[in-house]
Amino acid sequence: WGGGALGQARVTGADGRLQVDYDRFVRNLGESTLQVRFPPGSAHEGSIRLSLSQDYLADNEVMATTPDPMSVTAEGDRLVYEFGVRGDGPLTVTFDLRPNSGLGVLEATVGGTSAKPVRIRQLVYP
């Protein structure tokens, strides 16, 4: 169930401005990683905003976010993380997560400042 070709998934936004790598299958109370990549040219006024569904984050304990965000704010049904970037470079954000929802399916919408959002689905097993 862990790692490998079947366990890993990658989804790219329709406009190519956002790429998300995640585990398709996660163990309840285990460890999981969600990685979001923005290509060069994604920054707006020196920062990139990344949004994640609040429901998804409520079903996961966020163990770490790398790099540290400048701010985190609630906007409707999502949390928006703002990251500073130097120049016009790329940004990769890694969330170390611990699913705590019990058995079932987790769904999330991941978006960004200049990126069309994508949806992910994960199966949580005991």
**Where do the domains of the chain lie?**
4-125
DSSP string, 49-72: EEEEEHHHHHTEEEEEEESPPSEE
Instruction: Return the DSSP state at 1.
Output: -
CATH architecture of the domain formed by 4-125? Sandwich (2.60)
pLDDT in tens, the chain (126 residues): 455 667 899 999 988 889 999 999 999 999 999 999 999 999 988 999 999 999 999 999 999 999 999 999 999 999 999 999 988 889 999 999 999 999 999 999 999 977 889 999 999 998
pTM score: 0.92
As a whole number of angstroms, the distance between CA 48 and CA 90 comes to 10
